[in-house]
Amino acid sequence: MQLNTQEGVHTVLQVGSMPPELATRLHREFTVLQLPSVGVERFLEENGSRVTIAVTTGLTGVSGQLMRALPNLDAVISFGVGFETIDICAAEQLGVVVSNTPDVLTDCVADLAVGLLIDCLRGISAADRFVRQGNWINGPYPLGTRVSGKRIGIVGLGRIGLATARRLEAFGPTIAYHSRNRLVEVAYPWYESLIDLASDSDVLIVAVSGGTSTTGLVSREVIAALGSDGYLINVARGTVVDENALVDALAQKQIAGAGLDVYTHEPRVPEALLALDNVVALPHLGSATTETRLDMANLFLMNLRQFIAEGTLTTPVS
């Protein structure tokens, strides 16, 4: 591609915070400006034309408005697999390429999805609290639910959804999925209707990508279709699930429980969820292992180095 800057001269704009170790590596190797939290307009007037690459995270992203304020922007390079916070339409219109860090976090997120499922059905976290609070002396902990042999519905059979399904096969379940289209390369049954999938599932695992196209996909009707013995596991994005409907269903015992790693307004979690013992609530830990975060950082920097050297990306989104 034809770059907007002189060969070998690149100024990187950091949008939002980065993990400390990655920020250190980034600032040590590249010329980096930090987008301030205040005085943004003046900063962009003084520095916007210098910026050729914007770096960010999946949590923060880069808006179309910011892209338009950077006349020589060539690329947005993101740390994270999700890119719904990046205005992809604006990037395409402006000729800005975008990258993320897929694949390297698939295993850890899939591991966590299975862990949440087991915890919810067997009540591991709640049982731990039961023991710590000294309640065991008063009688046994209530019976849990068997994990093996369950009917598992997966919403979104992409990298993470498929990796989760493969792990769960060891438990002898029935696995089916919902996605926009049937995947010819997998043998699991495909449901065109998400409500029908929820109705036929004991556990519904949400692993679909975030963004406007999936906002509220797991609706009040879908949650109701799970039924009073059903469980919801969400390792995707909080926006995919109607959070108010989920809180209502859990409080009224319309579903049996939920395992949640993501929420609509992170890091804020509805107080009503925290009061329920049939909810396992995690602070967005999907990729939060030392090994995966290192792999993500290395891939992020690989994208940045390759773009500066060749004008191409290792893992392009657009």
Q: Which residues are catalytic?
A: 237, 266, 284
Closest to 122 measured CA to CA, from 293, 280, 309, 263: 280
Instruction: Tell me if 280 sits within 8 A of 259, measured CB to CB.
Output: yes
User: What residues form DSSP beta bridges with 260?
Assistant: 234, 281
**Amino acid sitting at position 223:** I
Q: What are phi and psi of 159, to 5 degrees?
A: -55, -50
Angle between helices 290-310 and 20-29 (to 10 degrees): 20
**Gap between the Cα atoms of 173 and 176, Å rounded:** 10
Residue 200, classified by CB atoms within 10 Å of its CB into exposed (0-12), middle (13-18) or buried (19+), is middle
**Contact (CB, 8 A) for 139 and 165:** no
CA dist., res. 160 & res. 170, Å (int): 17
